[in-house]
Amino acid sequence: KSTILFSGWLTVSTCNLSRQRYDVIVVGGGHAGTEAAAAAARVGAETLLVTQKIQTIGALSCNPSLGGVGKGHLVREVDALDGLCGRAGDWAGINFSVLNRSKGPAVWGLRAQLDRQRYREFIQAELLSTPRLKVLEGSVEELLVSDPNPAEPGRHRVTGIRLANGSQPISASSVVLTTGTFLSGSLFVGRTSSPGGRIGDAPSSSGLTQTLRDQLGLRVGRLRTGTPPRLLKDSVDLSLAKLHPPDRQPTPFSFMNTQTRCKPEEQLPCYLTYTTPGVERVVRESLHLNCHIQQDAKGPRYCPSIESRVLRFPGRSHQVWLEPEGLTSDLLYPQGLSMTMPPDVQLRLIREIPPLHRAEIHTPGYGVQYDYVCPTQLSPALQVKNTQGLFLAGQINGTTGYEEAAAQGLWAGVNAARRALSQPPAALSRTESYIGVLVDDLVSRGVTEPYRMFTSRAEFRTSLRPDNADLRLTMKGFELGCVSAVRHHEAVRVRCSLQNAIAALQALTMSSTSWRKKLPGISMSENKNQTLSGMDLLEYKDVSFEMLASVFPECLSPYMEFSQRLKIEAVYKPHNDQNRSEIKRIQSEENMSLPQDIDYFTLPVSLSQEVREILDRFRPTTLGAATRLQGMTPAAIANLFNYVHFTRSKLNHTTVSFSLEDL
């Protein structure tokens, strides 16, 4: 069905457009672009997605997987806001596992190996069925830039795009750039390089980079990444690798799904092997043949090439995961063997690994270098501060990974649509979502290397859990217009059911002696005799909701479908209660906006020259964002706070005092 629908869509999409103006234009059809286009259309904007090749929309350019620790949290949040990637993962997944199970549920990482073809087909079919969304195949030559609207901050205004084929310009109120690795991208294999952002695809136009750097005056940097060779599965001796089966029962990404398309017994395993001293020898002998590794551009620290790993950690053995690329694919993806040496040297290297001693390469690995825009030049809505109507999302902002791109794409799409529809920008706090942490880190601190999400980046990760993303975000998404009525109805049902279940648990109160009689197997001190509720008891490690429901079936059995979520809520309740005051403090700081036209160099406040330069360079939009800038001191924050409050209080004839002790 997907193939038939997509064939028809191809025909329609490459025809001449029926209109030359849209509310939102999204450039790029990767994870950021597809989420941005779908989100903008859901909010109500007439949206155009422009991509160089329609067949590659939704393609998994690198690893055939989704999620992981930190990244799985982002997928859950994108799904809670009605995004695409979670449901696509459930449709295309062929190996599901929850990582970090030995730790608390707050840092569990849902991950899935994906069937590349199924994932691409799902994304394409979803875009086809999205109202108000059109797709055009083409390369964007330049942005249309005009004078700014004097009623809004900014020195420029983007009004549309011009295609490389010389056709009529296409106008829009908002433009979202999601160019991935294609912005002045260069491909590297051995000593050779060629323009491009992905092997097999045409390079993007150089005019786009020129517009950003020269016309809009944006600071642009250079980053690099890479991908491993794809191996023919039949040439690999998997008996020499360690079998790693998936979870027996797949856990879906999407809150709307109770099961995945792939049945438990249909899942494919992964295999683990390790590098040998021979791998290190080949790397060192071929360094003079590898120009990519010698470049100054920063690569991903947490997903480095095998060359970088060998040079950084000599004498060590490194993990290599052999991952399936699809249910019917004849290829394996060797996770951990990203490399850019000449193809013949790549073959020598992989054959130094025992299971790969006769392996054949289907497609060699290669490196990519590309331009990115320093993200401190963006607002929390992911709009360029000095350019009205221009939004950026994905690797163009210095991030790495499908999940980080999808999260930015959705949020940029929402705000691009809201701007086009004359609605105020929306913001997500770092206290309420990992998407908020991601955006705040980017716009407040910038990047010096490709940014990847980790649970350690979130201060309040015990409340920002994968299991409660729907409760945190779906209602807000519905207010913003990006969540459907069906999903909203389900989220309301879940919220009400959990509230009723917690009330029922709290109403079950007994002395600890009585609880020990009811549940004789639990580990509870006999020296203490206190009154405990069912919610209190659920905090105990060896007490499950199922145990309580078996004792009190009349009041608890209706909530069995939420047994795991209730257990998690109980476990983290004491910690989250302690965090509430800190969360309120941060939220109050984030609600205090800083005027974007402040001249920090002449501000009549006691600030050092270094602090003034930091504030002028990053121009934080809120006091909360200012507190997280490297180099800001508590005294500077206090003085800035007092100045903003004093300026406002003159209008209200009130005074506000602030001291260092309040920090």
Q: Is residue 404 part of a domain?
A: yes
CA-closest candidate to residue 470, choices 86, 105, 76? 76
pLDDT in tens, 252-268: 999 999 999 999 999 99
Average pLDDT (439-466) is 93
Contacts of 430 (CB under 8 A, 6+ apart): 436, 437, 440, 458, 459, 460, 586
Domain-embedded: residue 1: no
Please, which pLDDT band fits residue 295 given cuts at 50, 70 and 90?
A: low
8 A C-beta contact, residue 451 and residue 480: no
pLDDT of residue 659 exceeding 50: no
Q: 58 and 197: one domain?
A: yes
Are residues 78 and 51 part of one domain? yes
Q: Predicted confidence band at 94 (pLDDT cuts at 50, 70, 90)?
A: very high
Q: Which residue has the higher pLDDT, 541 or 581?
A: 541
In a domain, 350, yes or no: yes
- List Cβ neighbours of 594 (8 Å cut-off, separation of 6 or more): 620, 621, 622, 623, 626, 640, 644
Q: How far is CA 92 from CA 83, 86, 120, 388, in A?
A: 15, 10, 9, 38
Q: What is the pLDDT of residue 319?
A: 96
- Please identify which residue in the block is written with the tokens 């323009």: 195
Calculate mean pLDDT across residues 237-252: 97
Does residue 82 register a pLDDT over 90? yes
Residue 302: predicted pLDDT: 67
What is the average per-residue pLDDT within 247-251? 97
Band the pLDDT of 525: cuts 50, 70, 90: confident
* Residues 20-44, mean pLDDT to the nearest whole number: 97
Residue bearing the bigger pLDDT, 376 or 302? 376
Residues 234, 352, single domain; the answer is yes
**Same domain as 234, residue 220:** no
Question: What is the model's pLDDT at position 172?
Answer: 98
Residues 220 and 251 in one domain: no
What residues make up the domain containing 511?
498-578
Please tell me the predicted confidence (pLDDT) of residue 608. 87
Task: Calculate the average pLDDT of the chain.
Answer: 90
Most confident stretch, 191-200, 386-395, 624-633: 386-395
Q: Is the pLDDT of residue 85 over 80?
A: yes
CA–CA gap between residue 43 and residue 417 (Å, rounded): 6
Same domain? For 562 and 469 the reply is no
* Total count of residues recorded for the chain: 663
> Tens digits of per-residue pLDDT, 132-191?
999 999 999 999 999 999 999 999 999 999 998 878 899 999 999 999 999 989 999 998
Residue 452 has pLDDT above 60, yes or no: yes
pLDDT of residue 604: 86
Q: Is the confidence at residue 547, as pLDDT, over 80?
A: yes
114 and 169 in a single domain? The answer is yes
pLDDT score of 434: 97
| pLDDT band of 105, cuts 50, 70, 90 | very high
At 281, which CATH number? 2.40.30.260
Domain termination residue (choose one: 550, 578, 606): 578
- H or E segment at 224? strand 220-227
Say yes or no: 212 and 145 in one domain. yes
pLDDT band at 1 (very low <50, low <70, confident <90, very high): very low
Q: Are residues 566 and 472 in the same domain?
A: no
Mean pLDDT of 17-21: 79
Q: How high is the pLDDT of residue 177?
A: 98
Question: Is 266 in the same domain as 357?
Answer: yes
Q: What is the mean pLDDT of residues 605-617?
A: 87
Which stretches within 313-450 are classed as H helix? 343-350, 402-420, 434-445
- The confidence score (pLDDT) of residue 610 equals 87
Does residue 17 surpass a pLDDT of 80? no
pLDDT score at 442: 96
Q: Return the percentage of the chain with pLDDT > 70, whole number.
A: 93
Residues 76 and 164 in one domain: yes
Q: In this predicted structure, which of 465-469, 553-557, 617-621 has the lowest mean pLDDT? A: 617-621
Query: Which CATH number covers residue 628?
Result: 1.10.150.570
Confidence of residue 318 (pLDDT cuts 50, 70, 90): very high
Confidence of residue 296 (pLDDT cuts 50, 70, 90): low
Query: Which of 366, 395, 412 is where one domain is finished?
Result: 366
Give residue for tokens 């201060």.
Answer: 459
Neighbours of 100 (CB within 10 A): 18
15 in a domain, yes or no?
no
pLDDT at 586: 74
Is 13 part of any domain? no
| pLDDT for the residue numbered 584 | 79
- The confidence band for 392, taking pLDDT boundaries of 50, 70 and 90, is very high
- The pTM score is 0.89
Q: CA-CA-CA-CA torsion for 90, 91, 97, 103, nearest 10 degrees?
A: -10
Q: What is the mean pLDDT of residues 382-393?
A: 97
Gyration radius of the chain over CA positions: 26
Question: Angle of helix 402-420 relative to helix 85-92, nearest 10 degrees?
Answer: 140
Rounded to the nearest 5 percent, the helix, strand and coil shares of the chain are 45, 20, 40
**What's the average model confidence in pLDDT over 618-643?**
81
Number of domains in the chain: 4
Which pLDDT belongs to residue 206?
Answer: 72
Residue 256 lies in a domain: yes
Question: Do 252 and 339 fall within a single domain?
Answer: yes
146: number of Cβ within 10 Å: 12
Mean pLDDT of 14-18: 55
